[in-house]
Every structure is written in C-alpha cells, then in structure tokens.
C-alpha cells in the first residue's frame, strides 16, 4: 500500500539580471522646429538597458543626451539667427520583436527587427543668437537697440515630457555580442528646444510661433548580454522556431526536405 506524499515547491524568485542586456549607443539627431533652415544635424550619445520579459517583449530604460543645432535664413540666404541646445533625456518603454512572436523565439536569428515605444522627460538648455543677416531686424526702438552678430536673442531651459516611437534591427554576432541600428522619432511637448517660440517685430509686437519642435535620432549600438534569459537554453523554443521557419519557407516555394527523425528502438 503506497501513501502519496506531497512536497512544497517555492516559486523561483524574480531575478532582475536574467535576460539583461546593456546597449551603449551613439549617432546623430536631426532637429525640426521654428528656427531651422539648415545645419539641423548634430550628435547624440547614451546607453540603454533591456530585460527580456517574454519571448518577444523587452522592458527598456534609456538615458541619452547630446547637442541640437540649427540655422534660420533671411530672404538673402543669410543666417539671421541660430541656436544650440545641450539636452539629456530619460525614457521608459518596451521593444517588440515580431519575428520572435510569429516564428518563435530564436536567440541565434541573424537579423531580428524590433519596434520601440517610450515615454520620458527631456531637459533642454537652449541659446538663440543673432546671425550676420539680422540687419533687417535692427531698430531704434528703446526696448531693443541694435542686434549684433552672436548677441543672445533668447535663452531657454527646462524639462518637458517626451514621447518616442521607432524601430531597430539587431544583427547576431555571438552569444555575448550583437550589433544594433535604431531610428527613433521624438516628440517633446515644449516648443522651446530651439529657444524660439515667439518673435518680435521692429515696433515691439510679439508674435507666437506654431508649436512644432520635433527630432529624430539615428544610433548604432553594441548589445552586450550580461545574463542570458531562461528561454535561451530551452530546446523547445529553438525547435519551435526551426519548424515554423521551415514551414514558412515551404509555403513560399522553397525546397521541401525531410526533417531528421528519431531512430526507432530495437526489439530484443
């Protein structure tokens, strides 16, 4: 007579380092706003950390910064104003890998596209100056005086909410390193990232501009796997990916091959 016995098992504790990746990033930002006709491209640098939450979804934290710049021309193709902005941004979001979702998780997939969604904050410190073409705006109005080349016109700083959407592509190199290429569109809720949200005419009237500050970032990065996720070494995920890929290839007209079969046990 057997007596059933039951053992109590503790659930595995959450390990923040499991499936954790660090991604140093560097590239350029391209600014679009009120005060840009040319020279709208400058540099950006930062780092992102991602943790695999499921087989196709990562949590993401990023800290980026750099310089924005641009020049505005007058009717004679002369620069009447230009700006520079040193900024930092902190964002929280997620990345979604559609191939891992539809074809199955496969860490060693050579190319793996992904989508990025983030919300965050942007700290900006912008200075707008007069250029050599500002002579047409010179006035004897007592509140203004004569603008001089490189004289500060506006100086703005502050913090604004930020929304970001974009995509990327990962190239698998080995179990530790991968290379990334990302393009992200960023929409701040402030119109002062170029220091310019209004302009004044030669009689002292102030005219607000349309809110439209917007910028793209294009970065390359090195994905460093600090600790593989629990799915990496489970055969059912790589096998599932293999079967789905083979099925997709056969549907698209690829050569049908027999999959290897397990040998039958011998009779004694």
Stretch 31-57: mean pLDDT, rounded? Answer: 89
For residue 78, how many other CB atoms are within 10 A of its CB? Answer: 14
Mean pLDDT (the chain) is 82
Residue with token string 């590239």? 27
Structure pTM?
A: 0.78
When mean pLDDT is compared across 104-113, 193-202, 243-252, the lowest value belongs to: 193-202
| Mean pLDDT across 203-224 | 80
- The pLDDT of 122-128, averaged and rounded, is 93
Checking if the pLDDT of 242 tops 90, the result is: no
User: CB atoms < 10 A from the CB of 125, how many?
Assistant: 15
Looking at per-residue confidence, does 117 or 248 come out higher?
117
Partners of 221 in beta bridges: 25, 180
Closest C-alpha to 186, from 262, 99, 116, 102: 116
Backbone angles phi, psi at 127, to 5 degrees: -130, 125
Instruction: Say which residue, 209 or 195, is predicted with more confidence.
Output: 195
CA distance 19 to 54: 10
Q: Is the Cβ–Cβ distance between 227 and 188 less than 8 Å?
A: no
Can you tell me the mean pLDDT for 207-221? 83
Rounded to whole angstroms, the Cα distance separating 252 from 242 reads 15
Q: DSSP code of 148? A: -
pLDDT score, position 139: 47
Q: What pLDDT, on the 0 to 100 scale, is given for residue 247? A: 83
Q: What is the per-residue pLDDT across 63-102, written as a single tens digit (0 to 9) for each?
A: 999 999 988 877 677 787 888 999 999 999 999 999 999 9
Three-class secondary structure of residue 180 per DSSP: strand
| Region at 233 (left for phi over 0; alpha for psi -120 to 50; beta for the rest) | alpha
Distance CA 193, CA 124 (A): 6
Q: What would the two tokens of residue 106 be?
A: 């496969």
Copy the structure tokens of residue 265.
């046990």
């Amino acid at each position: 007579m057997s007596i059933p016995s039951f053992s109590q098992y503790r659930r595995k504790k959450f390990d923040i380092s499991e499936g954790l990746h660090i991604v140093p990033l560097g590239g350029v930002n391209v600014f679009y706003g009120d005060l840009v006709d040319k020279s709208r491209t400058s540099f950006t640098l930062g780092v992102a950390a991602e943790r695999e939450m499921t087989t196709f979804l990562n949590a993401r934290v990023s800290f980026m910064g750099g310089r924005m710049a641009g020049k505005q021309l007058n009717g004679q193709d002369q620069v009447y104003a230009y700006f520079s902005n040193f900024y930092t941004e902190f964002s929280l979001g997620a990345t979604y890998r559609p191939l891992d979702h539809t074809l199955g998780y496969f860490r060693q997939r050579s190319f793996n596209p992904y989508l990025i969604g983030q919300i965050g904050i942007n700290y900006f410190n912008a200075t707008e100056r007069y250029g050599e073409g500002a002579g047409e705006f010179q006035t004897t109005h007592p509140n203004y005086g004569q603008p001089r080349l490189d004289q500060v016109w506006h100086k703005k700083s502050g913090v604004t909410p930020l929304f970001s959407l974009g995509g990327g592509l990962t190239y698998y190199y080995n179990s530790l390193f991968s290379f990334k290429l990302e393009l992200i569109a960023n929409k701040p809720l402030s119109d002062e990232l170029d220091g310019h949200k209004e302009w004044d005419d030669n009689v002292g009237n102030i005219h607000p501009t349309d809110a439209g500050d917007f910028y793209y970032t294009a970065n390359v990065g090195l994905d460093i796997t600090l600790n593989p996720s629990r799915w990496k070494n489970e055969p059912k995920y790589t096998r599932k990916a293999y079967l789905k890929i083979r099925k997709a290839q056969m549907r698209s007209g690829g050569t049908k091959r027999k999959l290897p079969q397990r040998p039958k046990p011998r009779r004694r």
